[in-house]
A and B are shown apart, each in its own frame.
Chain A
């Protein structure tokens, strides 16, 4: 996925192949998968688009199925320790970064400025500058919520059912709503 966004030639080709419905579908898959996996070692604090892969079939790529890579080279002890101390707040920020890249179809490196202190300030600036305003609102809503949780340092390490419902309502429901709207608006 990272290569799809960074490689200009590949990017144009892939973006041309993908339509809005596919992009939002992918966004929905990512946020749903995040909720399922963010407390496991499948998702690390440094989760990026590089960890999300598509499988290639001959000359084309199947975007309907996204995969997450198992780190086969990692240290087992480190991996085990990460399970015990998940930084849910950091992982929410990672999700926000991925959604920003997917929503704008540009990698973080293209959004980052020398004046940005860190990834968080880059994402905040992009949102406040309105770079997501021309994209489906689901991206902005989900990113806003992730940033809010991160700034409030909301601990999602052992969430209650109500908290999970709130998170799902804030990050999953917008994608469902926009996909539904897109399908309703699509010409017959």
Chain B
């Protein structure tokens, strides 16, 4: 008898809670259904129009060009980094994601050692000529960028030295300035 009274008492206190829980569950279900129905309208899937094939071709060529300096004793321990870039320009008229430009530029940071406090940045605009099998790695050309940055010419290569938000002191990278190394002598 006591246990039955206790059960009645408990169900009496629990019922309002259960009803509230049911209401909340129903509301959540409705909200979930609405979100599912409305999400394609609110967030249209953007179309990405990157020239990925071109980007890969350029970045491979750059890698091959840089790889050539590995075997050179002058560059032992030197560090070369490639800046990671989204290359997202923003949304187009129809919500499409457009690529940055037809022929992208790459930004490299260079230093004699990984722990160096002074890094040089080098912006590289690339044009890859029609490759020939035996000289594919040598047909990368570094071209100038029409900016206010200083430019220099070394062994037929033109470099553009840019200052990145005043963070890095930039000048002609020693890596590239060594005339003794043929690795950078790409024409």
Give the Cβ gap from A183 to chain B, nearest Cβ, in Å: 13
The tally of CB-CB contacts under 8 A between chains A and B is: 102
Give the Cβ gap from B163 to chain A, nearest Cβ, in Å: 13
Stretch from B11-19, B54-62, B125-133 forming part of the interface with A: B54-62
Residues of A within 8 A of B84 (CB): 29-30, 32-33, 52, 65-68
Q: Is the CB of B56 within 8 A of A37?
A: yes
Q: Is the CB of A35 within 8 A of B52?
A: yes
Contact of A36 among B56, B75, B80, B97 (CB under 8 A): B56
Stretch from B1-9, B28-36, B42-50, B149-157 forming part of the interface with A: B42-50
Residues of B within 8 A of A74 (CB): 70
Known contacts A36-B55, A55-B168; A165 and B48 CB within 8 A of each other: yes
Q: Does A119 make an interface contact (CB < 8 A)? A: no
CA of A176 to CA of B85, assembled, Å: 14
Q: Is the CB of A72 within 8 A of B78?
A: yes
Q: Does A151 make an interface contact (CB < 8 A)? A: no
Contact of A62 among B52, B70, B167 (CB under 8 A): B167
Q: Is the CB of A164 within 8 A of B52?
A: yes
Q: Is the CB of A36 within 8 A of B52?
A: yes
Interface residues contributed by chain A, number (CB under 8 Å): 38
Considering only residues 60-117 of chain B, those with a C-beta below 8 Å from chain A are 60, 63, 66-67, 69-71, 75, 77-88, 97, 109, 117
Residues of A within 8 A of B55 (CB): 36
Considering only residues 13-35 of chain A, those with a C-beta below 8 Å from chain B are 28-30, 32-33, 35
Q: Is the CB of A28 within 8 A of B86?
A: yes
CA of A39 to CA of B56, assembled, Å: 7
Residues of A within 8 A of B67 (CB): 41, 70, 76, 79
Known contacts A35-B52, A41-B63, A72-B80; A67 and B45 CB within 8 A of each other: no
Q: Is the CB of B81 within 8 A of A69?
A: yes
**Nearest residue, chain A, Cβ from B69:** A72
Q: Is the CB of A68 within 8 A of B87?
A: no
CA of A169 to CA of B49, assembled, Å: 11
5 contacts between A and B (CB under 8 A): A55-B168, A68-B81, A70-B63, A72-B75, A176-B88
Q: Is the CB of B50 within 8 A of A35?
A: yes
CA of A66 to CA of B119, assembled, Å: 14
Q: Is the CB of A53 within 8 A of B45?
A: no
CA of A168 to CA of B88, assembled, Å: 12
Chain B CB within 10 Å, residue with most, of A55, A62, A74: A55
Q: Is the CB of A72 within 8 A of B79?
A: yes
CA of A79 to CA of B69, assembled, Å: 14
Contact of B83 among A32, A40, A65, A169 (CB under 8 A): A65
**Nearest residue, chain B, Cβ from A161:** B52
Residues of A within 8 A of B168 (CB): 55, 57
CA of A79 to CA of B70, assembled, Å: 11
